[in-house]
Structure 1
Amino acid sequence: MCGGAGTRLDRGEKPLFEVGGVPMVERVLDALDESRIDTAYAVTSPETPETADRLRGRAPIVETDGEGYVADLTDAVGRVGRPVVTVAADLPLLTSEPIDRAIDDHDGGALTVCVPAVLKRRLGVSVDTTRTHGGRELAPTGLNVVGQRGGETMRASYDARLAVNVNRPGDAAVASAFADSIDGGASDGS
Structure 2
Amino acid sequence: MSELAAIVLAGGAARRLSGVDKPLLEVGGVPLLRRVLAAVRGADPVIVVGPERDGIEAVRWAREDPPGGGPVAALAAGLGQVTTPRVAVLAGDLAGITNSTVERLGAALDGDGAVLVDEQGHRQWLIGVWRTASLRAAIPAEPHHAALRTVLGRLAITDVAAGPGEAADVDTPEDLDRLR
TM-score range, shorter chain: 0.7 to 0.9
Between Structure 1 and Structure 2, which shows a larger proportion of helix residues?
1
TM-score (norm 2): 0.72
Instruction: For residues 125-178 of structure 1, give each alpha carbon's deviation from its aligned partner in whole angstroms, at most 9, with x where no partner exists.
Output: xxxxxxxxxxxx4241621122134732141413123231110011112221xx
Question: Aligned runs of 1:101-140 on 2, under 5 Å?
Answer: 101-117=104-120, 137-140=121-124
> In 2, Cα distance between the equivalents of 1:2 and 1:166?
12
Q: Which runs of 5+ in 1 are unaligned?
A: 118-136, 177-190
Is 1:7 equivalent to 2:11 in the alignment?
no
> In 1, Cα distance between the equivalents of 2:98 and 2:70?
26
Is 1:66 equivalent to 2:84 in the alignment?
no
Verify the 8 A CA contact 1:141 1:162 in the aligned structure 2: no
> In 1, Cα distance between the equivalents of 2:72 and 2:87?
15
Runs of 4+ in structure 1 displaced over 6 angstroms? none
Aligned length: 149
Q: Which runs of 5+ in 2 are unaligned?
A: 1-8, 138-154
Aligned to 1:91: 94
> In 1, Cα distance between the equivalents of 2:172 and 2:158?
25
TM-score (norm 1): 0.69
Q: CA deviation at 1:77?
A: 1.8
Verify the 8 A CA contact 2:102 2:129 in the aligned structure 1: no
Select between 15-24 and 70-79 the one with higher mean Cα deviation: 70-79
Pick from 161, 164, 169: which aligns with 1:165? 169
Verify the 8 A CA contact 2:115 2:123 in the aligned structure 1: no
> In 1, Cα distance between the equivalents of 2:167 and 2:16?
18
> In 1, Cα distance between the equivalents of 2:46 and 2:80?
15
Instruction: For residues 98-146 of structure 1, give each alpha carbon's deviation from its aligned partner in whole angstroms, at most 9, with x where no partner exists.
Output: 10011111125122221132xxxxxxxxxxxxxxxxxxx4241621122
